[in-house]
Structure 1
Amino acid sequence: MIDFSVVFSYAHGVIAICGMLFNALLTYLALFQTPRVIKSYATLIVNFAITDFCACLFDFFVQQRLIPSDLSLAYISNGFCHHFGPTTCYVGYSLMLHCFSHSLWSLLLSFSYRCYILYKPAPTRPVLVLIIFLIYTPSLLQFVSFLWAQDDPDEMREILTKHFPAYNLTEHTVYGTKNIICFSALFTILHMTLPITPVYICILILRRKITSRLSVNGVNITKETRNMHSQLLMALTYQAAIPGFYLFGVTSYAIGQFGIYNHPALEYFTFSSFLLIPLLSPLASFIFVTPYRRFIMHYFFKTTRVEPGESSLTRNIYTSNAYTG
């Protein structure tokens, strides 16, 4: 018989470590290899990278299995947190969830920024930091609220034993919430699910506005700046598609929550699919942002070839103060 705890533990370990390395590299590139023309936008890239790095770190720490049962929601952690007990695992899990929710709001902010600076002067870094903090507030409230949703681990173990007598819970760290209708748990569930559709609608609208604006010949920006906008738009579009993995995770959770089918593979798959998001997200910048791609090709693949049709972007500036980054 396949030991799913071992299989998914290895998978979480490999994916989480790769995700942390990718996002650490992206943080370095954003801080030290960003062209002047998008210097202010680097603040948002760093926000993305740090959020995704933390999501991978906390996932590596907890390596979560989610087991829904009626109105109860139980968790089994296979990560290092199990050495410290269920409360530590629960806090780590709460931190991981709030990273995923903040990542979604950050994606909307990135599209909003790219659209805004095509019409108005780019905001300063302090202003961007303040905006990031404001959009982080709901995720922070989610984290604090969810801490109160933890119930007694022994009671959760009894609930699992009653509903799933075939499950071997020996030596596993079990904890969770007896009633997900309570405010602490319900707020987290709603905040993790309800914003997805309206956020994506806003992203599609903003992307269309950005594309239309860039296609207007009268826009007072240099050709190189226009190219950089296009590169970042491609990267953002790629990033916008990645959270589609949420759909797989939510589907596997719903199948168990509504009692359609329960299986350890489905219970592990929920957060395994979520983990692919912070792993793949930094690749968008590595692939589509030319200065980052050149740095990686040069230092990791020892390639010095200059790509045709592209010139250095580090010296490019906006031709109008309205677009100074």
Structure 2
Amino acid sequence: MITDVELANDFRAIHLIFGGIGSILNLCLLYLAIFQTPKAIRLYSTLIINFAVTDALTCLLDIFIAIRFRVLPYPNEDSMAHIMNGVCKNFGLTTCVIGYWFGKLFSNYLFRILRFSLYLHTLSHSIWSLLISFGYRYLILFNTLFVKCSSVTLVILAFYLPSFLQAVTYWTNFVERSEILPIIKRVHPDYDFTESVGLLTGITDLSSVSV
């Protein structure tokens, strides 16, 4: 029977494979959009670059975080938990490569949660980027004069601000392991929540989430 530690390693490998493939493909897309775009669709390449950058960052952050367990709210619960099992864990429980550079500003726990918030930020913005692209292709059929580089940039910034606000504020809602552990054990009493299977965190009160 597979153990929870082995399962954690399997999920980490899956995140590494798909996140790595996604990062490489987005870098290829970014190269094509910057250096190989025909002049006729140069303006549209701005949207492609916007999507490629945010989606590549999403893939990289997914590798670092590697969320493998989420407990959604139950009828009698108003909390949510996550187990993060990313590669940062390999560098120790107190610090990691990036966290070491900012060690005087962030604890390892806070920096992991901040990266999770950035992951949600880039993920949501990459999805919004698809909507902007579809809107551009529809609008260009009727009014080519309105669609200018400045207009496209302003639209991207307008859609960027909500997800940026989420990145700035959402991470403050997450609590440490000691606070979420009693709740998650009550919901899943048979699951292994030792520190060896990943970083346990969550939100204890969804009704007070800032964003």
What is the TM-score with the length of structure 2 in the denominator? 0.81
> CA–CA distance in 1 between the matches of 2:52 and 2:174?
29
Q: Deviations over 1:146-192 (max 9, x none)?
A: 122112321112222333232222223111100112132xx4xxxxx
Q: Deviations over 1:64-92 (max 9, x none)?
A: 12123522111111102334333222111
Partner of 2:98: none
Partner of 2:170: 146
Partner of 2:57: 54
1:4 aligns with 2:11: no
Residue 64 of structure 2 contacts residue 88 of structure 2 at CA under 8 Å; is this kept in 1? yes
Partner of 1:88: 111
> CA–CA distance in 1 between the matches of 2:148 and 2:129?
17
Cα RMSD over matched residues?
Answer: 1.7
**Which SS does the other structure have where 1:41 is aligned?**
helix
1:42 aligns with 2:45: yes
Gaps of 5+ in 2: 96-107
Partner of 1:134: 158
Which amino acid in structure 2 is aligned with residue 81 of structure 1?
A: C
Partner of 1:119: 142
> CA–CA distance in 2 between the matches of 1:9 and 1:61?
9
Residue of structure 2 aligned with 1:15, choices 3, 15, 18: 18
Partner of 2:72: 68
**Within 5 A, what are the aligned runs for 1:253-268?**
none
**Which SS does the other structure have where 1:103 is aligned?**
helix
Q: Tell which deviates more after alignment, 174-183 or 151-160.
A: 151-160
Partner of 2:187: 163
> CA–CA distance in 2 between the matches of 1:129 and 1:74?
37
> CA–CA distance in 2 between the matches of 1:121 and 1:36?
15
Q: Deviations over 1:26-49 (max 9, x none)?
A: 000000111111010000000110
The structure whose RCO (Cα within 8 Å, separation 6+) is larger is 1
The list of structure 1 runs, each at least 4 consecutive aligned residues, that deviate by more than 4 angstroms after superposition, is: none
> CA–CA distance in 2 between the matches of 1:153 and 1:86?
9
What is the TM-score with the length of structure 1 in the denominator? 0.54
1:178 aligns with 2:204: yes
Gaps of 5+ in 1: 188-325
**Which SS does the other structure have where 1:52 is aligned?**
helix
> CA–CA distance in 2 between the matches of 1:143 and 1:46?
21
> CA–CA distance in 1 between the matches of 2:134 and 2:187?
45
Q: How far did residue 121 of structure 1 move? A: 2.4
Q: Deviations over 1:269-300 (max 9, x none)?
A: xxxxxxxxxxxxxxxxxxxxxxxxxxxxxxxx
Q: Identity of aligned pairs, percent?
A: 36
**Within 5 A, what are the aligned runs for 1:88-107?**
88-107=111-130
Q: How far did residue 138 of structure 1 move? A: 1.0
Residue 86 of structure 1 contacts residue 174 of structure 1 at CA under 8 Å; is this kept in 2? no
Query: How many positions carry a matched residue from both structures?
Result: 185
> CA–CA distance in 1 between the matches of 2:185 and 2:166?
29
Residue 71 of structure 1 contacts residue 179 of structure 1 at CA under 8 Å; is this kept in 2? yes
> CA–CA distance in 2 between the matches of 1:56 and 1:99?
9
Q: Deviations over 1:100-145 (max 9, x none)?
A: 2112221111111112122222533233222211111111112223
Residue 176 of structure 2 contacts residue 200 of structure 2 at CA under 8 Å; is this kept in 1? no
State which structure, 1 or 2, has the greater radius of gyration over its C-alpha atoms: 1
**Which SS does the other structure have where 1:131 is aligned?**
helix
